[in-house]
């Protein structure tokens, strides 16, 4: 994919569904992760003000899905998905910078990113702007009617 001079980062919109589905499906397949892009999911992230699309010459080349969370203490921005076509480092970096700027503009100074351990490109983009690994384990359990669904490794 060649990205021309008109490359820009913008807020995600609910109308981006058709543009993001293929990128998300390819990412999920590469990372053995569940897909995330659904209309309701995009509606949620579009309202967050912290989710972005990287657009080049009318072609979406990446996206970041992040939102604010608050547990009664300090608010935080949680980056749940970071995707770029062909893991393009410049696209990933631009998306991370957009999330960081949106957090700062909202006076939210704690950011957390969930990234598969084998996603070296996303890890590089995040550590380049001072994200650091924390010694935690993310565990998941599926309940109810979803019990038969596979939990991503």
Burial of 78 (0-12, 13-18, 19+ CB in 10 A): middle
Its pTM stands at: 0.89
Per-residue tokens: 129:
């702007």
Q: Is the pLDDT score of 82 beyond 90?
A: yes
What is the phi/psi pair of residue 142, to 5°? Answer: -105, 130
- Name which of 60-64, 120-124, 133-137, 147-151 the model is least confident about: 147-151
Q: Which class does domain 8-146 fall in?
A: alpha beta
């Amino acid at each position: 994919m060649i990205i021309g001079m008109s490359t820009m980062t913008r807020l995600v919109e609910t109308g981006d569904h058709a543009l993001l589905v293929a990128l998300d499906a390819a990412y999920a397949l590469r990372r053995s992760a569940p897909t995330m892009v659904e209309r309701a999911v995009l509606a949620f992230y579009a309202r967050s003000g912290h989710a972005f699309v990287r657009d080049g010459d009318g072609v979406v080349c990446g996206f970041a899905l992040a939102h604010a969370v608050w547990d009664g203490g300090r608010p935080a921005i949680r980056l749940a998905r970071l995707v770029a076509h062909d893991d393009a480092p410049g696209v990933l970096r631009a998306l991370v910078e957009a999330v960081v700027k949106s957090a700062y503009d909202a006076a939210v100074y704690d950011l957390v990113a969930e990234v598969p351990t084998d996603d070296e490109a996303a890890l590089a983009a995040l550590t380049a702007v001072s994200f650091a690994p924390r010694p935690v384990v993310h565990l998941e359990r599926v309940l109810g009617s979803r019990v038969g669904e596979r939990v991503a490794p």
